[in-house]
Amino acid sequence: MSELEQEQEKANLEKTIALLKNKIASQEVLLSLYEVDGSRNLFYALNRKSNEMALLLNKYNLTDMDLSASNKEFERLKGIWDNSTNLATALKSLEQTSGVIGDKEKDLQPRFRISPESIADEVGELAGKKQ
């Protein structure tokens, strides 16, 4: 094998290693999603959206707004505040059912760590046995 071929092989291996490291990192992120309570995570995501909606609604003054039929801005704002009640109800329900305590850092901490050992512990005596 020539020196040029060895360099190309080395470059290909380094590229493969980098791709595999990226894949492992993305899989670890996916795994971490299973370790966090999804309903609490959803609560904070929807809470952020409700704050964004409030900021958007507060940005506009209706007395200064062009309410002509050609201006769709008012209709869009109306759509936001029409849906705000549903969002507020969903937030309240998620807060109560998921046990959100209001401390985002504590609420979103993983409750458990998934590992081959923890899975085997859940499976118990059935681990590795065919049925």
pLDDT digits (tens, 9 = 90+) for 32-75: 766 667 788 888 899 999 999 999 999 988 888 888 878 888 88
Tell me, yes or no, if the pTM score tops 0.85. no
Helices (H), 36-131: 38-59, 73-98, 104-107, 116-123
Is residue 32 a contact partner of residue 110, using CB atoms and an 8 Å limit?
yes
What's the rounded Cα separation, in Å, for the pair 24 and 6?
A: 27
**For residues 94 and 89, what is the distance between their CA atoms, to the nearest angstrom?**
9
Q: What is the DSSP letter of 69?
A: T
pLDDT at 11 over 80: yes
pLDDT number for residue 43: 87
User: Would you call 86 exposed, middle or buried from its count of C-beta atoms within 10 A (0-12, 13-18, 19+)?
Assistant: exposed
HSE of 19, CA atoms in CB hemisphere, 13 A? 6
Q: What is the mean pLDDT of residues 117-131?
A: 61
Q: Where are the domains of the chain?
A: 37-109
Those residues with Cβ within 8 angstroms of residue 31's Cβ, 6 or more apart along the chain or in another chain: 114
62-109 pLDDT, tens digit each: 888 888 878 888 888 889 989 899 999 999 998 888 888 888 777 777
* Tokens describing residue 103: 């401390």
Locate 62 and state its tokens: 């209706």
